[in-house]
Amino acid sequence: MPGPRLHAAGGGELTAAKNVVVFDYGFGNVRSAERAVARAGADVEITRDYDKAMNADGLVVPGVGAFAACMKGLTEVRGDWIVGRRLAGGRPVLGICVGMQILFASGIEHGVQTEGLAEWPGTVEPLQADVVPHMGWNTVESPEDSRLFAGLDPEDRFYFVHSYAVQHWTLETVNPAMRAPQVTWSTHGAPFVAAVENGPLSATQFHPEKSGDAGAQLLTNWIETL
C-alpha cells in the first residue's frame, strides 16, 4: 500500500500529511467535506470505524438536518463516546454546521428540547430573523489572534445554511491560566455564534467545504494545528 503523502512544511522540509477522518454517522455532507479537507493537504478517510476515528490526527464531525436526529445517529455509532475520548486526550475535533450545534448542551426544535454533547454550555435555538433559514454568504467577526481565521480578511464571506444557532455564549473561564475559548460571531437578524476555538475542539456554523477560497484557507489553518 502507498505511504502517506508528503508536503512541504513552513521551512521547506517534507513532512507526512496529516490523517483526518470524516466521521460517517449518516448525517452530513461527508463527500464534500472529504474533498475539501483533501484539497487542504490532508489524507482523508470517510468512516465510522471506532479505532480509525480515535487514532486519526484530526476528526471532522459534519452534520445536516435536525439536532435531535443528528444526536440519535451519532450516539447509535458511539460517536458521542469517540468525541469525548478524543477531547479528553487533547486530540483535535472539528464540528461543522449541526456537527457544531450538537457540541452544545441542548437544542430546541419545534418546542422539543434535546440534550447535546455538552462540551460547551448553551442552547441551540431558532434564529430571530425575518427570513429563515439563513441561507447564503455572510461575513464573520473573529478574534484578532484566531488560528482558524489566520490570513483571512474581515470582508471574506462564508456559506451558511441553518435555521437554528447559539445566540448567547455563556461559558466563563474561571482559571486565568487557562486560555479562554475564542468565539467568532455573525449576524442574521441578531448576532449568533459562527465559530468556536477551544483547545483541541473547533467548530463552525457555516460550511467551510462550501465556502470557496476562504473556507479552504480555514481548513488549511485547522490542519496545520493538528
Selected catalytic residue, list 134, 162, 188, 207? 207
Characterize the bridge pairing of strands 58-61 and 19-23: parallel
CA distance 185 to 8: 33
CA proximity to 211, closest of 151, 146, 139? 139
DSSP label at 213? H
Cell of 34: 472529504
- 224 in catalytic set: no
Residue 159: all three cell numbers together: 456559506
Cα distance between residue 60 and residue 22, in whole Å: 5
Report phi then psi at 89, rounded to 5: -95, 10
70 in active site = no
CA dihedral 171, 176, 177, 180 (to 10 degrees): 30
- SS3 of residue 114 by DSSP: strand
Q: Which of 34, 119, 197, 209 is catalytic?
A: 209
> In Å, how far are 49, 64, 115, 186 from 70, measured between CA atoms?
18, 8, 11, 23
Grid coordinates belonging to 47:
468512516
Tell me, what amino acid is at 187?
T
| Options 70, 97, 134, 162, the catalytic residue | 97
Contact yes or no for 107/68 (Cβ under 8 A): yes
* H helices present in the chain, as ranges: 30-39, 50-55, 67-76, 79-88, 98-101, 212-224
> Which sequence positions are flagged as catalytic?
97, 207, 209
